[in-house]
Amino acid sequence: MAMLERDGVKLYYEVHGDGPPLLLSHGFSATSAMWRGQIEPLSRTHRLILWDMRGHGQSDYPDDPTAYSEAATVADMAAILHAVGAPHAIIGGLSLGGYMSLAFHRAHPERTDALLIIDTGPGFKKDEAREAWNQRSLGTAARLEAEGLGTLQTASAERAQSRHRNAQGLAYAARGMLTQRDASVIESLPTIRVPALVLVGSRDTPFLAATDYMAGKIPGAVKVVIPDAGHAANIDQPRAFNDAVTAFLATLS
C-alpha cells in the first residue's frame, strides 16, 4: 500500500504478488477494494496493481473541477506503472475502469500487453447517444451533491460497499471523467493488436450489446459471459469470474 503524488494529487495504490504486471481499475464511485476477491487468485501468477482514481477512496479529492478528466486518469495510470517499475502491463478494469483501459491503450499501445474489458461500454459514435449518456452522468453528479454519499447505498455491489471521504470529489469525477467528449475510444477498437478479454455478467443488461460490439470490433477478442452476474460480475460470481480471467491470462504466457 503506497501513495504516489502527481501534479499535487496523491493517488493510493497497492501491489500484490510477483510476475507480469496487471493493472486493474475500478468503476465509477467504487474503489480498489472491489477487487479484494481477485487478489489471492490473480497475485499467484501476476504482480497485481490496484489503485483508487482521483476523487475516490483513499486518493485525493482535488477542489479544482478541471483536475478530473479522461486525460488525467490515463496519465495517473501511466504514473502508477512508472512508480512500480512496470514499463508495460496487462491493463484492465470494470465499467469506467474498463473504458479508461481502452483510453490508456489508445494513448499508450506500446505499454499495453493485453486488455481486460469488464462490464464496460466503449463510448458512442453518435453525438446524440453520447449526449444522453452525459446528461445521465451530470444527473449523477447533481444527486451526489444534493444527497451525499448515501445515494450510493442503493447502487450496484461494487459501489454500495465502497468508502469515500466526500461526495464532492465523486461529483467532479462524474462531470469530468464519466462524461465523454468524442468517439475516439470506440473508433480505436479495430486498431487494437493485443489480446483482449471482453467479459460481462449475464444480467448486466445495459452492457450486453456494448460487449457484443467490442468483441466484434477488437481483432481476436475473446468474449465471456458470466452466468447469473450483474454489473459487478467479479463480486456477484467471483469463482466463475476468477476462472475466466486466469484462463485468459494463462494464454498470454
pLDDT band at 2 (very low <50, low <70, confident <90, very high): very high
Classify residue 61 as exposed, middle or buried by CB count within 10 Å of its CB (0-12, 13-18, 19+): buried
Report how many domains make up the chain. Answer: 1
Q: Check which CATH number belongs to the domain holding 134 and give it.
A: 3.40.50.1820
Residue 61 neighbours by CB under 8 Å, 6+ apart: 54, 55, 165, 166, 168, 169, 172
Provide the domain limits for residue 100.
2-250
Output the pLDDT for position 154: 67
On the question of pLDDT at 64 being above 90, the answer is yes
pLDDT tens for each residue of 177-224: 999 999 999 999 999 999 999 999 999 999 999 999 999 999 999 999
Nearest to 2 by CA among 35, 45, 49: 49
pLDDT tens for each residue of 130-178: 999 999 999 999 999 998 888 887 666 677 677 899 999 999 999 999 9
pLDDT tens for each residue of 219-231: 999 999 999 999 9
